[in-house]
């Protein structure tokens, strides 16, 4: 069995895979000060009696401190660990200026989107950052866009102002807020829906073709219903991509 781990800046997705299928999924907070021993205890606790059946791991991480500790923990748990990065076989041409700069999570989601939804395809990942990743009609990764995530933007707004406070990130009844809470909610939720719509429309214009639109990440549930176009929602796209990358590099 394969243990797939996608480490983001805020949360870490962990999946247990058998024969290419995700059989169990966990989401935990990303803690940069967690030691290798603590990660080992965490993983053993999650896997429970399945520890002995897991012999491989695939890791995508955008947090270097966690990559090191988690890699050490996995070394005590499985026989082989694939860390997504330069030199890994993706089966997908990288038509960008510097492929080494593309985050491991973006590679994993793009690989999975191409495999399961065809191409051209555009993936919107909603997390600490909002990323737009594009696979062109020829099946090559051609780049995308990166913006701050909605939670990051709300934190910056609250931290930078004296009178504004944190609010629930839910769509308000009115776009024209009737009070301060509604006004912040409108600016955040509808504003970010507009940001995503704008990036997707401009990306489609540059592609010169229609594309499958896929949404993933823990923030997708809030924004996808407000977007102008139809999206396929795949909450575990990165983990499925890690499963594919593991097979292609065995």
**Catalytic site residues?**
105
In terms of Cα–Cα distance, which of 205, 203, 196 is closest to 224? 196
Number of H helices, E strands in the chain: 8, 10
Chain CA centroid to CA 44, Å: 24
The encoded tokens of residue 230 equal 């139809």
Orientation of helix 104-117 relative to helix 237-248, angle to 10°: 90
CA distances from 84 to 9, 125, 153 (A): 16, 18, 28
Q: Tell me the HSE value of 45 on the side-chain side, using a 13 A CA sphere.
A: 8
Here the tokens at position 182 are 């509604």
Strands 232-233 vs 80-83: parallel, antiparallel or unpaired:
unpaired
Q: Is the sign of the CA dihedral 145, 150, 152, 156 positive or negative?
A: positive
């Amino acid at each position: 069995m394969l243990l797939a781990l996608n480490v983001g800046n805020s949360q870490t997705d962990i999946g247990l895979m058998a024969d290419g299928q995700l059989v169990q999924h966990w989401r935990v907070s990303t803690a940069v000060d967690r030691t290798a021993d603590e990660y080992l205890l965490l993983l053993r606790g999650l896997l429970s009696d399945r520890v002995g059946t897991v012999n491989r791991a695939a890791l995508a991480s955008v947090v270097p401190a966690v990559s090191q500790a988690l890699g050490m923990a996995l070394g005590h748990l499985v026989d082989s660990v694939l860390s997504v990065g330069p030199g890994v076989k993706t089966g997908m041409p990288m038509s960008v200026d510097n492929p080494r700069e593309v985050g491991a999570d973006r590679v994993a989601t793009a690989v999975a989107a191409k495999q399961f939804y065809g191409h051209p395809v555009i993936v919107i990942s909603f997390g600490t950052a909002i990323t737009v990743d594009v696979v062109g009609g020829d099946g090559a990764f051609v780049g995308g866009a990166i913006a701050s995530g909605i939670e990051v933007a709300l934190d910056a707004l609250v931290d930078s102002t004296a009178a504004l406070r944190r609010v629930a990130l839910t769509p308000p009844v009115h776009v024209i807020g009737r009070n301060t809470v509604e006004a912040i909610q409108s600016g955040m939720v509808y504003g970010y829906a507009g940001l995503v719509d704008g990036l997707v429309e401009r990306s489609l214009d540059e592609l010169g073709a229609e594309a499958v639109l896929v949404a993933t990440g823990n923030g997708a549930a809030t924004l996808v219903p407000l977007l102008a176009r139809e999206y396929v929602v795949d909450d575990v796209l990165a983990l499925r991509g890690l499963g594919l990358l593991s097979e292609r590099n065995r």
